[in-house]
Structure 1
Amino acid sequence: MIQHRTIETNGVNLHIAEAGEGPLVVLLHGFPESWHSWRHQFAPLVEAGFRVVAPDQRGYSASDRPSDVTAYSILHLVGDVVGLIHALGEQTAFVVGHDWGAPVAWHTALLRPDVVRGVAGLSVAPAPRGEHPPLELVKAAYAGRFYWTYFNQVGVADEEFGRDPKATLRRFVYALSGDAPGEPGIHQALIEPGTAWLEQLAAPTEQPDWFTEFDLDELAKGFAEGFTGGLNWYRNLDRNWELTAAFAGASITVPALFAYGDRDPVAYFPGAPELIANLPKLVPGLRRPPVVLPGCGHWTQQERPAEVNRLLVEFLSELRDEQA
């Protein structure tokens, strides 16, 4: 049975969901999500002999939401993961992340390989640090239309998404899923100047089987106070680039796994296809080539729970046995 409690670490209170006994596995959600996005992974991982913990990361749901935008840097987020592992009485853990949780997982493995026994990322591959700030690059490439630019207009996306959180999440989840009509691509991440993003996203005709009305209600509860906490992660993109200068050229050396859906818009972001193709060379610890899930959109572990669970159980069990 999944239990809930609050852990104080790294200067914040984090709500966690936990179950099982054994080696620790930390599951990190993305935007706009919560621990609930991992609901399908708990039972299989517990049955495989793992202790599973999924936090609401800072800025989300029942966890603290610092008011200072700079409190959402990648170093703060990695600090939360490391602090959580230690607060749970462990020295090391396996770390798994989806969407924004994936960069947090990748950076935790990069910056603290002594703490991470293995790392898995879903949807977002580990990108090397570029030569220029990321917001500068996307502004130039897409004339300010890329959604990162929109999210960095303080208060704009906050107001649009916060008007009706449930309606926002319903459309957001559907539009980026494998069920949405049309071909996936960068066009789904572009916003016409002076328009609202939600108006450009495909509206669902019915709720997908893998994301029920109950799931939507559970997710919406965490955004009753708005989306600013999660949006603040995007408002640190350039600052993260500055803070990680010392790690330019460094590689993730711990055992790694990456999987994504072939209908995930993120797979078509600038440089993403080339990055995924070269991942075996860029990530020495990668245990197998990137895994492609046919017909799957952005919400990897929710849309394809059986396939993702099989991948995670195999990957983590193999590492546990090797490291025993």
Structure 2
Amino acid sequence: MTLAHDIAGDGPCVILLHSSVCDRRMWNPQWELLVDAGFRVIRPDFRGFGETPAPTAGYDEARDIRDLLDVHGIERAALVGSSFGGRAAQEFAARWPSRATRLVLLCPATRLLEPTDDLRAFDAAEDALLEAGDIDGAVDLNVRTWVGPAADDSTRDSVTRMQRRAFEVQLAAPDVAADRGDFDLRQVSAPTLIISGAHDLDGMQRVAEFLTERIPGAVHRRLDWAGHLPSVEDPARLSPLLLEVLREPAST
């Protein structure tokens, strides 16, 4: 199955990978900016988000990224991943290092660390609300937890719609286990920038530190104004930084 996606522009490829709180619409503030800057830009919806159906068999997000690039005959790309998308991006870059020209990981998740107490508490609260059938409460919990103080009401409304859509798609589908491949972060060869937000949960900031220690040559930048979703919370501050990084010479 090919992920639902948008593609536009010419030049070096950049693939934008969304958070699990959102879908590909989260990149609206960066989409035209990157296309106009001379990049070929792809933004997919992962399985169970936006316009991509939930999985019906074992799935692997990194392999889905590889397959999407193959569909368009794209051998190499820069990967920009937010949270869950950052997790998929790091796995892709570790498993197929020659295909990643650059990594920008925005408040990334990872499969390689046990969750901290604050992340476990969030998961437990979300599970309890969903088991009680309180979708509104689960959506509100996600928006309150993951959208930082720099965001305006319009942004919070947008994230609310995207999170609700994810719950609608996923809760209507059977529970299917992932079938993800193993990976070794030491294999990542792409220049890597890891961004964390000062207002994010402590557990996510620990992930940023962990990945910076494990990915060869990775650079960590902490944004004092950001929560968990800086690309939507304040695009005017995040987008120029993203553009600056992507314009640096690509990995060879």
TM range (shorter): 0.7 to 0.9
The structure 1 residue matched to 2:84, chosen from 100, 105, 110, is: 100
80-89 vs 117-126, which moves further: 117-126
Native 8 Å contact 1:118 1:319 kept in 2: no
Is 1:23 aligned to 2:9, yes or no? no
Contact 1:179 1:297 (8 Å CA) reproduced: yes
Q: Helix, strand or coil for the counterpart of 1:66?
A: coil
Match of 1:252 among 175, 188, 206: 188
Instruction: Confirm or deny: 8 A CA contact 2:139 2:160 kept in the other structure.
Output: no
Which whole-Å deviations, capped at 9, do the CAs of 1:87-114 have from their partners, x for residues lacking one? 1221111111101110100010000012
User: What is the one-letter code of the residue matched to 1:262?
Assistant: A
Contact 1:24 1:51 in 2 (8 A): yes
1:38 match: secondary structure: helix
The structure 2 residue matched to 1:177, chosen from 140, 147, 163, is: 147
RMSD (Å), alpha carbons: 3.4
> Is residue 195–residue 208 contact of structure 2 (8 Å, CA) maintained in 1?
no
- Alpha-carbon distance between aligned partners in 1 of 2:124 and 2:167, rounded to the nearest angstrom: 24
1:46 aligned residue: 35
Match in the other structure for 1:219 = 162
SS of equivalent residue, structure 1 residue 225: helix
Structure 1 residues 232 and 263: CA distance shift in structure 2, 3 A: farther
Counterpart of 2:104, as a letter, is: A
What is residue 104 of structure 2 aligned with on the other side? 120
Give percent identity, aligned residues only.
25
Aligned to 1:81: 65
Residue 221 (structure 2) aligns with = 291
Instruction: Provide Cα deviations, 1:154-184, integer angstroms capped at 9, x if missing partner.
Output: xx66445x6445x64344213332229xxxx
The C-alpha deviation readout for 1:57-87, integer Å capped at 9, x for no partner, is 112121121234xx24xxx111100010111
Rounded to whole Å, the distance in 1 between the matches of 2:185 and 2:103 is 19
Residue 214 of structure 2 corresponds to 282
The answer to whether structure 1 residue 319 and structure 2 residue 249 are counterparts is yes
Change (3 A) 1:117 1:251: same
Separation in 1 of the partners of 2:139 and 2:71?
A: 32
Task: Give the aligned partner of residue 152 of structure 2.
Answer: 208
1:104–1:306 Cα change, 3 Å: same
Deviation at 1:212, TM superposition (A): 5.5
Does the CA contact (< 8 Å) of 1:25 and 1:94 recur in 2?
Answer: yes
Describe the SS at the equivalent of 2:247: helix
How big is each residue's C-alpha offset from its partner over 1:33-63, in whole Å with a ceiling of 9 and x where there is no partner?
Answer: 1001111111221121101111111121211
TM-score (norm 2): 0.82
Secondary structure of 2:152 counterpart: coil
Cross-structure match for 2:234:
304
Contact 1:18 1:52 in 2 (8 A): yes
Number of aligned residues: 251
Q: Which amino acid aligns with 1:284?
A: P
Q: Which runs of 5+ in 1 are unaligned?
A: 1-11, 181-206
- SS for the counterpart of 1:33 is coil
Query: Residue in 2 aligned with 1:58?
Result: 47
CA contact (8 A) 1:27 1:97 kept: yes
Partner of 1:261: 197
Post-superposition Cα deviations, 1:180-237, rounded to whole Å, max 9, x if no partner, equal 9xxxxxxxxxxxxxxxxxxxxxxxxxx9345164x2575267347344489969x65x
Aligned residue for 1:173, secondary structure, equals helix
Superposed CA deviations along residues 14-35 of structure 1, whole A, max 9, x for unmatched, are 2112332211111111212100
1:220-264, Cα deviation, whole Å (9 max, x unpaired): 67347344489969x65xx75xx52xx457342211111121001
Amino acid at match of 1:290: H
Paired letter, 2:139: L
Output the amino acid matched with 1:299: L
CA distance in 2, matches of 1:212, 1:45: 23
Give the conservation status (yes or no) of the 8 Å contact 1:158–1:227: no
- Using a 3 Å threshold, how does the CA distance of structure 1 residues 296 and 226 change in structure 2: closer, same or farther? same
